[in-house]
Amino acid sequence: MAMKITEDCVHCGACVTECPNEAISADDSLGRHVIDPEKCTECVGFYDTIKCQEVCPSESCVPDPDRQETEAVLIARARKLHPNKDFGENFPSRFRR
Ligand code: SF4
């Protein structure tokens, strides 16, 4: 399930540098940050926690119920986004905590 950012976002940008997939950008027209669901892996492959959610001061990074995805789908996305990285089979994942 990709994450999304709600209207509670205070546009601070704390999440941007935490994302391993460069999935988060500022949308000045909305006055908040947004997550590209085609780049979000719920941090699977990099961390066993969800980084944007951890650092967000306004608790506005939340799971998108309309984009429920399995670990297999998410690690496949990570591999596609980072073709030169060897994730192996013991990659960090919130599904394995
Ligand atoms: Fe990026 Fe991880 Fe947040 Fe997805 S859950 S937007 S990969 S920091």
Chunked mean pLDDT (size 10), the chain, 97 residues: 93 97 97 97 98 98 96 98 98 96
Residue 30: the pLDDT is 95
Cα-to-centroid distance, 18 and ligand 1 (Å) = 8
Closest CA to 87 of 34, 41, 56: 41
Residue 43 CB–ligand 1 contact under 6 Å: yes
Q: Which two tokens stand for residue 70?
A: 């399995």
Residue 74: the pLDDT is 98
Residue 1: the pLDDT is 66
Q: Which amino acid makes up residue 64?
A: D
Q: Which two tokens stand for residue 49?
A: 């926690």
pTM for this one?
A: 0.94
Residue 50: the pLDDT is 98
Q: Which two tokens stand for residue 43?
A: 């941090």
Residue 23 CB–ligand 1 contact under 6 Å: yes
Cα-to-centroid distance, 42 and ligand 1 (Å) = 5
